């Protein structure tokens, strides 16, 4: 395997681990708040591309 491919795989694994740690910390700090409630309370308009 090329060295740049190894760096890519290691970097991707590090990002996944960091995302997992952030998600665990959020769940620990907000145990009663479900993800749907969080999404409803935060503006996610950039996800929806409505034609007006």
Which tens digits make up the pLDDT trace of 1-52?
689 999 999 999 999 999 999 988 887 877 666 666 666 666 656 566 555 5
Q: Are 30 and 38 spatial neighbours (Cβ–Cβ below 8 Å)?
A: yes
pLDDT on residue 23: 87
- Cβ-based neighbours of 52, under 8 Å, separated by 6 or more: none
Cα 8 from Cα 23, distance rounded (Å): 23
Give the pTM. Answer: 0.52
Cα 24 from Cα 17, distance rounded (Å): 11
């Amino acid at each position: 395997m090329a060295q740049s491919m190894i760096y890519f795989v290691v970097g991707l694994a590090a990002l996944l681990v960091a995302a997992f740690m952030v998600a665990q910390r959020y769940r620990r700090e907000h145990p009663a708040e479900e993800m749907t409630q969080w999404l409803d309370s935060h503006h996610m308009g950039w996800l929806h591309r409505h034609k007006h």
